[in-house]
Amino acid sequence: MTSTLHPPAEPMLRDAVAKLPTYIAGRSAESALTAALASNESHFTPLPSVVDVIAAEGARIHKYPSMGSAEAREAIARHFSVSAEEVAVGPGSSGVLQQMIAAVCDHGDEVVFAWRSFEAYPILISVAGARPVAVPLLANEHHDLAAMADAVTDRTRIVILCSPNNPTGVSIGSAEMEDFLAKVPPHVLVVIDEAYIEYQRSADGLDSLELFRRYPNICVLRTFSKAYGLAGLRVGYAIARPAVAEGLRRTAIPFGVNRMAQRAAVASLAAETEIRTRTNAVAEERGRVISSLRSFGWQVPDSEANFYWLRVPDQQREQILAALSDADILARGYPGDGVRVSLADRETNNRVLAVLSDRSRFGAQ
Ligand SMILES: *Cc1c(COP(=O)(O)O)cnc(C)c1O
């Protein structure tokens, strides 16, 4: 403890925090004509039934919300035929994930995840004092589940799987998942981050809730931010065994999920049919856009989410982003990896296709 002898002259950040990469948010639209396709938000405006409950709740914001989001928990439990003890609600699924790491990991414990995946993972893990263990994706953009199972040590407390994966859009198959679960020790929590699950249409996609019933170490993480269109309200949830869900409630910021968010979550679950119509439209556009891109000569992995992925070298990434930007389209670039573009309505998607249609403008993929 040399610091007591020579204390720093100013308040210092913890080393783990000082070294953190900052979370880069996708740029938001600068004008009404800008196509903001950098954050995987829903391009649909909020459902009227949801806007109504938010407005009604506005008159009550001088009161704290329900501490444990009781009504939303009950609604989620009913919707998925689990018990309310198996549900925890938090400020976005990133918030729930932060609670989870705080609940499960001591200093130096390891959390295994695929890379590239959701950029919040290494940040949340490091801030908690745990150790991020990133396992590269396979060349076909799938999770390398064999390598992830091998990466589990006696310090591992959590494995995070992202399906469909952000930013590649690829889902984990049910057969490979069974093999993986057979290899992972039962005390390691397997978190399946399904932020985009509502967009999944593959027949081979895993049924996480069915797995949750069979494997006590599974935790399903979901959000209202994407398909439900509530990104601006911050509400997500986990479905896990009661002891884990209770841990998530204990590590939550008091009253972290606001009243509007809680009521909007309940109203959104009740609007399942409308949400399904919307996700169907996105899935249909996804098929059309990806086939067009392939016909232009791009290699695009199958996506089960509301975005698609171009793995390209850095120079080409810059060219693509610049060409899109010239057309007033914002997409998300990842240095060293590629470009992710969110899907929107047909007209907006066509604007992107127009930019990418002349494959010869860009270098080799
Ligand atoms: C967007 C996203 C989330 C969640 O975001 P919240 O708004 O915090 O619910 C979680 N995981 C992945 C992979 C995402 O892309």
Q: What is the pLDDT of residues 306-327, one digit of tens each?
A: 999 999 999 999 999 999 999 9
Which two structure tokens, joined as six digits, stand for 82?
């689990």
Q: What does pTM read for this prediction?
A: 0.95
Q: Separation of 128 CA from ligand 1 center, angstroms?
A: 18
Best substitution site from 41, 69, 94, 342 to test ligand 1's pocket, by max atoms within 8 Å of Cβ? Answer: 94
Given the candidates 3.30.420.40, 3.90.1150.10, 3.40.50.2000, 1.20.1250.20, the CATH classification of the domain at 15-45+273-362 is 3.90.1150.10
Task: For residue 53, report the distance from its CA to the centre of ligand 1, in Å.
Answer: 23
296 C-alpha to center of ligand 1: Å? Answer: 31
Burial of 354 (C-beta count, 10 Å sphere; 0-12/13-18/19+)? exposed
Mutate to test the pocket of ligand 1, among 100, 137, 160, 166 (most ligand atoms within 8 A of CB): 166
For 242-273, what is each residue's pLDDT tens digit?
A: 999 999 999 999 999 999 999 999 999 999 99
Rounded Cα distance between 144 and 135, Å, is 7
Locate the domains of the chain by residue range. Answer: 15-45+273-362, 48-271
Phi/psi of residue 196, each to 5°?
-115, 15
**Nearest in space to 96 (alpha carbons), one of 231, 232, 235, 211:** 235
Q: How far is the CA of 225 from the centre of ligand 1 (A)?
A: 7
Q: Which atom of ligand 1 is nearest to the CA of 162?
A: 13
Peptide bond into 164 cis (omega under 30): yes
Each residue's pLDDT tens digit, 172-222: 999 999 999 999 999 999 999 999 999 999 988 899 999 999 999 999 999
**Closest Cα to atom 15 of ligand 1:** 166
- Both structure tokens of 37: 């396709």
Residue having the nearest C-alpha atom to atom 2 of ligand 1: 195
Mean pLDDT, all residues of the chain: 95
DSSP category for residue 173: B
Q: How far is CA 262 from the centre of its chain?
A: 19
At 363 the pLDDT is 81
pLDDT score of 27: 74
Q: Alpha-carbon distance 114 to 146, whole Å?
A: 11
267, containing H or E segment: helix 259-270
What fold is seen in the domain 48-271? Aspartate Aminotransferase; domain 2 (3.40.640)
- State the average pLDDT over residues 219-226: 98
Q: Which residues line ligand 1 (CB under 6 A)?
A: 40, 92-94, 118, 162, 166, 193, 195, 223, 225-226, 231, 236
Alpha carbon distance 117, 341 (integer Å): 15
Report the alpha-carbon distance of residue 294 to residue 312 in Å, rounded. 14
d(CA 117, CA 125): 14
Give 77 Cα–ligand 1 centroid separation in angstroms: 20
Q: pLDDT tens digits for 125-166? A: 999 999 999 999 999 999 999 999 999 999 999 999 999 999
**Whether residue 26 has pLDDT greater than 80:** no
Say how far apart CA 316 and CA 343 lie, in whole Å: 21
Using CA positions, which residue lies closest to atom 6 of ligand 1? 92
Token pair of 51 as six digits: 């806007």
Which residue is associated with the tokens 């953009």?
141
Which residue from 23, 118, 208, 307 has its CB within 8 A of the most atoms of ligand 1, so it is best to mutate? 118
Which of 278, 298, 299 lies closest to 343 in space, CA to CA? 278
* Among protein residues, the one whose CA lies closest to atom 1 of ligand 1: 195
